């Protein structure tokens, strides 16, 4: 039975249909299923399964062919101490997922130049002296790499050992590879980074250093490899038809909901994958616990092992196999939406590629509050600047989001316990209720919209904040990671044709508390 026939089959008491391979099952129902059925015929005519299996470089799909196949990764014994991942984008999230699932310890993820995780590591001298770092984010991570080696030096680690404590995953001949050669770091050669990197060296090497059993991971992913190479019974093809079909039918917002037992971080990784692979034509919104999101004609629900006969679509199965199917589906959706998946990983692309200072900033349009709870407002938008205070500003933000969505981009510490992750997500929920529109949350970069203006129809709120206790960057006298982090946000706050407002918190916790109070006052 073909994938189209399976999706078209009727089940008793339900209009849901499923495709299964290994232990991965994709289910669709209702209007989403109907839209997928229309797309499956086109995918057969375009011979997408065959083209993906053959690695059709001309169509920009070669990167899709690796997810379910064994990947050659040099032997990477587990590091004896904590593993710090210096990188950005979906591959970093995938590394943490794989480490937790396959027997490793959770790595310390440093997004861009965020100082919080390294500051906490420095507060534990014994753990710091045994720590290893793996750089997966290219030269964008150069300030963080310098800061890490500077901390080791300050902790008394011998100079001869410091170089060996850093592993760089990079394409040979790249700027990051040149840094590895100059500093004496171990280089793991890898293809150019891509959105489809969950089972690439950019995710596998950090996971292995953290103690994950890669043999187990790749065996799990291989359970769906045969199905992903065929046009029949292909869950990736079916899910891609769901995603692309729904978007083409006007439901371009996919709400990602985690069910009990869903691996931590899977929904966030999937959101970055879908946004990057489709270049913004599919807008993923993570449904955090308690975050209100009303049903609407422009959105549909994809749950991870949820209620297959009630939700619009579900995907269930083992983690590594599910990563492979989701990457395949994202590439199929990109094809249906007329988008060539990007060669380079998009998250972080707008971040600065230099570590030179100083970093000038325009003056704030106004400042709301006093002392620690003060919030500086920077914007080129006349209506936002005229608000004069946070409450009317948030009123205007909610009003302007009425025909699109609200994009919340935080250049803060994403850790839900020690950082600002929980408060930022809470703010997203309050703003979603206030605007009655979807709210996306991204850390360190906004969702891409290259070649399409879907993401640009929304209102962009950029959050930055004083680091408090910073981490010095060797080679930048008097400058720590904090100012570099703020400079990463500068291109996003430049404005232009987009309605963008940047909120700078003089104290991160106190400023977020004030923002929450002001946001709740309008709900």
| pLDDT recorded at residue 364 | 87
**Residue ranges in 290-420 assigned as alpha helix (H):** 319-336, 382-385, 390-400
Cβ–Cβ < 8 Å for 128, 151: yes
Torsion of CA 291, 297, 302, 306, to 10 degrees: 70
Give all strands of the β-sheet with 500-505 in edge-to-edge order. Answer: 366-368, 375-379, 500-505, 459-465, 406-410, 439-443
Please choose, from the candidates 138, 115, 166, the residue with its C-alpha nearest in 3D space to the C-alpha of residue 484: 115
| pLDDT recorded at residue 1 | 42
Residue with tokens 């270049």: 279
The torsion angles phi and psi of 68, rounded to 5 degrees, stand at -95, 0
- Within 13 A of 40's CA, how many CA atoms are on the CB side? 25
Burial (CB count within 10 angstroms: exposed 0-12, middle 13-18, buried 19+), residue 301: buried
Domains of the chain with CATH codes:
3-59+225-336 (no CATH), 83-220 (3.40.50.10490), 366-520 (no CATH)
How confident is the prediction along the chain (523 residues), in pLDDT tens digits per residue? Answer: 455 554 544 443 358 899 999 999 999 999 999 999 999 989 988 888 888 887 643 333 444 443 434 456 667 888 889 999 999 888 899 999 999 999 889 999 998 899 999 999 999 999 999 999 999 988 889 999 999 999 999 999 998 899 999 999 999 999 999 999 999 999 999 988 878 889 999 999 999 999 999 889 999 999 998 999 898 899 999 999 999 999 999 999 999 988 778 888 899 999 999 998 888 889 999 886 555 566 678 899 999 987 777 789 999 999 999 999 999 999 999 999 988 765 444 333 333 334 444 455 667 899 998 888 999 999 988 999 999 999 999 999 999 988 788 989 999 999 999 999 999 999 998 998 888 888 888 887 655 444 344 445 678 899 999 998 999 999 888 889 998 888 888 776 555 567 889 999 999 999 999 999 999 986 5
Q: Is the pTM of this model over 0.85?
A: yes
How, if at all, do strands 83-87 and 108-111 pair? Answer: parallel
| pLDDT recorded at residue 74 | 67
């Amino acid at each position: 039975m073909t994938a189209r026939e399976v999706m078209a089959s009727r089940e008793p008491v339900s209009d849901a249909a499923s495709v299964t391979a290994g232990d991965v099952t994709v289910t669709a129902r209702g209007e989403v299923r109907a839209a997928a059925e229309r797309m499956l015929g086109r995918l057969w005519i375009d011979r997408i399964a065959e083209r993906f299996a053959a690695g059709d470089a001309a169509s920009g799909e070669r990167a899709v062919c690796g997810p379910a196949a064994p990947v050659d990764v040099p032997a990477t014994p587990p590091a004896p101490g904590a593993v710090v991942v210096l990188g950005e984008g979906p591959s970093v999230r995938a590394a943490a997922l794989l480490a937790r699932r396959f027997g490793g310890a959770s790595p310390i993820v440093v997004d861009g130049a965020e100082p919080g995780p390294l500051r906490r590591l420095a507060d534990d001298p014994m753990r710091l002296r045994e720590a290893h770092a793996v750089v997966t984010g290219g030269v964008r991570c150069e300030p963080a790499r310098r800061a890490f080696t500077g901390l080791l030096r300050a902790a008394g680690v011998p100079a001869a050992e410091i170089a060996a404590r850093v592993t760089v995953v990079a394409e040979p001949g790249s700027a990051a590879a040149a840094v590895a050669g100059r500093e004496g770091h171990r280089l793991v050669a890898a293809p150019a980074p891509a959105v489809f990197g969950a089972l690439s060296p950019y995710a596998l090497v950090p996971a292995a250093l953290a103690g994950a059993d890669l043999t187990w991971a790749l065996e799990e992913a291989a359970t769906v490899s045969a199905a992903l190479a065929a046009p029949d019974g292909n869950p990736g093809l079916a899910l891609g038809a769901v995603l692309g079909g729904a978007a083409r039918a006007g439901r371009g917002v996919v709400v990602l909901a985690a069910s009990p037992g869903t691996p931590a971080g899977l929904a966030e990784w999937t959101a970055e994958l879908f946004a990057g692979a489709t270049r913004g034509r599919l807008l993923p919104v993570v449904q955090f616990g308690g975050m209100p999101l009303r049903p609407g004609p422009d959105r549909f629900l994809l749950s991870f092992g949820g209620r297959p006969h009630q939700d619009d679509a579900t995907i269930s199965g083992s983690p590594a196999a599910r990563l492979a199917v989701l990457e395949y589906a994202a590439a199929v959706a990109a094809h249906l939406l007329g988008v060539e998946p990007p060669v380079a990983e998009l998250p972080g692309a707008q971040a600065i590629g230099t570590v030179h200072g100083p970093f000038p900033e325009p003056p704030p349009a106004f400042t709301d509050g006093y002392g620690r709870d003060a919030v500086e407002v920077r914007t080129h938008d006349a209506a936002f600047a005229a608000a004069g205070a946070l409450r009317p500003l948030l009123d205007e933000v909610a009003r302007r989001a009425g025909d699109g969505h609200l994009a919340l981009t935080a250049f803060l510490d994403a850790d839900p316990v020690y950082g600002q992750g929980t408060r930022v997500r809470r703010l997203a929920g309050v703003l979603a209720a206030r605007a009655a529109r979807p709210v996306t949350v991204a850390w360190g970069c906004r969702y891409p919209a290259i070649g399409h203006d879907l993401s640009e129809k929304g209102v962009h709120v950029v959050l930055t904040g004083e680091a408090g206790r910073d981490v010095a960057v060797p080679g930048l006298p008097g400058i720590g990671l904090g100012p570099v982090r703020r400079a990463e946000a500068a291109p996003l706050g430049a404005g232009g044709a987009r309605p963008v407002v940047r909120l700078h918190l003089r104290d991160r916790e106190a400023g977020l508390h004030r923002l929450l109070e002001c946001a709740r006052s309008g709900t």
